Amino acid sequence: MALLSSFVSGVLAQRDLDAVQIEVLDVAEGVYMLTGAGGNIGVSVGDDGVFLVDDQFAPLTEKILAAIATLTEHPVKFVVNTHFHGDHVGGNENLGKAGAIIIAHENVRTRMSVEQFRSSMEMVIPAAPPGALPVITFTEGLNFHWNGEQIRVFHVGDGGAHTDGDAIIQFVGANAFHMGDIYFNGMYPFIDLDGGGDVHGLISAVNQVLALSNEDTKVIPGHGPLSNKAELEAYRDLLQDITHAVQAGIDSGLDLAAIIAQEPTAAYDAAWGGGFISNEAIIGAIYGSLSRR
Ligand SMILES: [Zn+2]
């Protein structure tokens, strides 16, 4: 649980950030993925300036900017947050001060503006400083015409997905996506029920991206290695399978402990259970999501 808390809160993680290195990966023409600590970062580079998707933790901003400087001499003009979690928005205040415009779904600004409580981890998340808040918000989405590219930012999960303020970013010309925490590649996802998450919304968001993808599509997940359509399909299939099993348990009157005892994730644990979210945690989140509908 300590590992999970440090991963999602950004508070405990800071003790380890000195040793973190930012690595740059080629995704597609003009698009890169940065890894470090916290959520993966997406970068569009070109003559207009840098367009960033998420910004990890505040103490990493200097290292992130140094990594970007190896790609381009242009400054960061826009930062889009995929959702409100601290390991995706932690650099907002630094980048805003440096001149970037911060953009996110309206619910991201709303949740960042006030203290949040995450019951599954008994964790209080303090309100963000005003300088960290998105200054442009949207409800459906918006388009950027930038770096010779169309960059589509669209909200997914009308009843919630990973949270209630998720955005997916599509680099149309480059045939690449940043999915935020809609997609945990190679590990069970965190579904933030207190933050407005919902498993059906999560699955339908994945299906939206699959419908826009082909064999050449590159997919930046919120966490885990750079991915593609085939791996995203496997993720969708396991989420559907586990969700159906949990729903069947609920329909036959079983409680959470009885559903866990049926081992609905058994076929997936070896490949997907080694991440931040245990098999019991994902079953619990799906159960919680379905039983409050
Ligand atoms: Zn998240």
Distance CA 170, CA 177 (A): 5
pLDDT at 5: 42
Other beta carbons less than 10 A from residue 47's beta carbon: 10
Furthest-apart CA atoms within the chain: distance in Å = 61
DSSP string computed for 93-142: HHHHHTTPEEEEEHHHHHHHHS-EEEGGGTEEEPPPPGGGS-SEEESSEE
With tokens 């995706």, the residue in question is: 88
Distance 47 CA to ligand 1 centre (A): 31
Q: pLDDT per position in the chain (293 positions), as tens? A: 334 444 444 444 556 799 999 999 999 999 999 999 999 999 999 999 999 999 999 999 999 999 999 999 999 999 999 999 999 999 999 999 999 999 999 999 999 999 998 888 888 999 999 999 999 999 999 999 999 999 999 999 989 999 999 999 999 999 999 999 999 999 999 999 999 999 999 999 999 999 999 999 999 999 999 999 999 999 999 999 999 999 999 999 999 999 999 999 999 999 999 988 999 999 999 999 999 86
CA distances, 286 to each of 111, 165, 262, 281, 289 (Å): 22, 19, 14, 9, 5
CA of residue 3 to ligand 1 center, whole Å: 14
Ligand 1 geometric centre to CA of 90 (Å): 12
Q: Which residue has the tokens 């919120």?
A: 222
Domains, in order of start, for the chain: 2-229 (3.60.15.10)
Cα 241 to ligand 1 centroid, rounded to whole Å = 22
Q: In what order do the strands lie in the sheet with 176-178?
A: 141-146, 149-155, 167-171, 176-178, 218-220, 227-228
| 3-state secondary structure (DSSP) of residue 216 | coil
Strands in the chain per DSSP E: 23-28, 31-35, 41-44, 50-53, 76-80, 101-105, 116-118, 123-125, 136-138, 141-146, 149-155, 167-171, 176-178, 218-220, 227-228
C-alpha of residue 69 to centroid of ligand 1, in Å = 27
How far does the centroid of ligand 1 lie from the alpha carbon of residue 222, in Å? 7
Q: What are 119's two structure tokens?
A: 């019951």
Please tell me the predicted confidence (pLDDT) of residue 283.
98
User: Using CA atoms, how far apart are residues 96 and 78, in angstroms rounded to an integer?
Assistant: 9
Euclidean distance between CA atoms 53 and 81, whole angstroms: 6
How many angstroms separate the CA atoms of 65 and 95, rounded? Answer: 9
Ligand 1 centroid–CA 139 distance in Å is 19
| Span from the CA of 184 to the centroid of ligand 1 (angstroms) | 10
The alpha carbon of 132 and the centre of ligand 1 are apart by a number of angstroms equal to 17
